[in-house]
Homo-oligomer: A and B are copies of this chain.
Amino acid sequence: MQKRPDLIALGRKIRAVREDKGFSQEGFSVEVGLDRAYYGGIERGERNVAAVNLMKMAQALQVEVGELFPALDELAALSKRRTK
């Protein structure tokens, strides 16, 4: 399955915030009650993570949910690239 650029960008943002907050991948997956391998897939952009888990992660990281997402203009640029 070809990875989606928007999910890759989302995974990168989540990883950056997690690292910024000093969590290891292992520690954070336990903190939010997610399987370690599943969580790793989210950061690699392989999982279309759903709202409940996104809200759980934001609360565990103590950031607004929006901080886990790419900015609108980045999403627009990614969409253009996909349609070429």
Contacts and interface: CB of A to CB of B under 8 A. Distances in A.
A52 to B, nearest CB: 5
Given A59-B75, A76-B59, A48 B48 contact: no
Contacts of A62: 72
Interface residues of A, number: 26
Interface in A54-84: 54-55, 58-59, 62-67, 69-72, 75-76, 79
Interface stretch (A4-12, A16-24, A30-38): A4-12
A83 B72 CA distance: 34
Given A64-B66, A67-B66, A7 B59 contact: no
16 contacts: A4-B52, A6-B55, A10-B51, A48-B52, A49-B51, A50-B50, A51-B69, A58-B69, A59-B72, A59-B76, A64-B66, A64-B69, A65-B69, A65-B70, A65-B72, A66-B69
